[in-house]
Amino acid sequence: MKKFWKKSAAVFLAAVLLLMPALAQASALTPAEAAHLRFGADGKFTILQFADIQDGPGLLPPTAKFLKAALEDVQPDLVVLTGDNIMGSNSKTYDQTKKAISKFMDIFQEAGVPVAAVFGNHDDEGGITKEQQMAIYMTYDCFIGYDEGPDIYGVGNYNVPIYSSTDAGKVAYNLWMIDSGTYDAESGGYDYVRPSQIAWYQAKSDELKAANGGVPVDSMMFQHIVIPEVYECFNEVAFGTPGAVAINGKFYVLNPDLTHAGVLGEGAYSAHVNGGLFDAVLAQGDVRAMIFGHDHANTYEVDCRGVDLICSPTAGMASYGTPQRGARVIEIDENNTAVYQTRLVKYSSYFTFGSLLNPVYNVMYGFWQIAFPVMKVFYLIDSVTGLSVF
């Protein structure tokens, strides 16, 4: 009997030793890797981006209805939230913040769709930190985001690999999630992507490239605040030019030669400091498109030195916006990952203004139809005079 137990123990120990590398590898997986997102059997992968929901502290009925309708219509493989997910200034306690996040995350959880998210400049304005908010998001089974660590500036810098439909171990595409920060205390204005974030991106990009036989893995990058290079895709024009938007005392329209689609409905409110992210993206050669939120009235898709810069409109109803208000659909094809298809789904796809069935939508839509043009007048005054009327 003693020999039997000794032999059994030896077999068990050997089995444990054999399994240890696999167990260690499994425990080392990030939440995004563990989710193991894959292209479908048809070779397609669909992303639904919601930018600037920021209704908070609750979620207006038309916003909730829009999120549900878009999910049902698009049937995405992944939802990406690109910051200002809540209006932090309206959620000043932990419980209020948790409730604000739950209003949309409960919808995604019920739909059973994976969710990735980054933060914007408004999320933590109520004093509940991004670290605390990330912990709230991570309580949801559908959430696949995380933070790469405290040595990297910001919270919520990570990547989401999308695996091949035919080879479960092959990363066929990659999504970068970048925290573009809040405000820059030193130079003023909005924050920018810092050196530690860029170094992490470069190292991870090189790692993916090496695992892909030395070929960069085609990718998209999501962050809240647009990069300064977007102005390379605008034409500066004279005051009074039809359709021009005002910012910093200058007036701009889209450069038609560089524009794929969309509108420039307001200035692009980028950081004052250029941290060099776009130069790194060009050098790595993996990012096909950078996708932003932040500027609620902008829906442009422009080509900046071979990389598409895309702005998506607000998906909420409580904040300013235009009839372009909605969400962005992105479809990637595994058979040609160098290109993609994108389109907007708008509130107007699911709501009829004036319908008695949507009273809150009627009120909010009507309000912003009047209020946003008035806001643009004040923006113009501010831009020309520097009086800071807002």
- What SS3 class is residue 365? helix
Interhelix angle for 94-111 vs 61-74, to 10°?
30
What is the 8-class DSSP label of residue 335? G
* SS3 (DSSP) at 252: strand
| Residue 310 pLDDT greater than 50, yes or no | yes
pLDDT score of 353: 83
Q: Which of 11-15, 84-88, 251-255, 329-333 has the lowest mean pLDDT?
A: 11-15
Identify the pLDDT of residue 238. 96
Query: What's the pLDDT at 9?
Result: 45
How does the average pLDDT of the chain come out, rounded? 91
Question: 32-385 domain in CATH 3.60.21.10?
Answer: yes
* 187-221 per-position pLDDT tens digit: 889 999 999 999 999 999 999 999 999 999 999 99
pLDDT bin (cut points 50, 70, 90) of residue 356 is confident
pLDDT, tens digit (0-9, with 9 covering 90-100), for 155-194: 999 999 999 999 999 999 999 999 999 999 998 899 999 9
pLDDT of residue 379: 67
Question: Exposed, middle or buried, 118 (CB in 10 Å: 0-12/13-18/19+)?
Answer: buried
pLDDT digits (tens, 9 = 90+) for 29-85: 999 999 999 999 999 999 999 999 999 788 999 999 999 999 999 999 999 999 999
Extended strands (E) in the chain: 37-38, 44-50, 78-82, 115-118, 158-163, 171-177, 219-222, 234-237, 245-247, 250-254, 259-261, 287-292, 301-304, 307-311, 326-333, 340-346
Rounded to whole angstroms, what are the CA distances from 295 to 84, 182, 310? Answer: 11, 14, 11
Q: What is the pLDDT of residue 383?
A: 65
95-117 pLDDT, tens digit per residue, is: 999 999 999 999 999 999 999 99
| 3-class DSSP state of 292 | strand
State residue 33's pLDDT score. 98
pLDDT above 70 (res 301) = yes
Q: Residue 380 has what pLDDT?
A: 73
pLDDT at 18 over 80: no
What predicted TM-score, i.e. pTM, was given to this entire model? 0.91
Mean pLDDT of 132-151: 98
> Which element (helix H / strand E) includes 26?
helix 2-27
> Alpha-carbon distance 251 to 122, whole Å?
26
- State the burial class of residue 294 (Cβ atoms within 10 Å of its Cβ: 0-12, 13-18, 19+): buried
pLDDT at 303 over 90: yes
Confidence of residue 355 (pLDDT cuts 50, 70, 90): confident
pLDDT exceeds cutoff 70 at 127: yes
- Cα–Cα distances in Å, from 145 out to 258, 348, 376? 33, 30, 36
Distance CA 324, CA 11 (A): 65
**CB contact at 8 A, 172 and 334:** yes
Block residue for tokens 């609750």: 58
Q: Which of 139-153, 338-352, 355-369 has the lowest mean pLDDT?
A: 355-369
| Phi, psi angles (nearest 5°) of residue 197 | -70, -40
Domains in the chain: boundaries = 32-385
374 pLDDT band, cuts 50/70/90, is: confident
pLDDT recorded at residue 7: 46
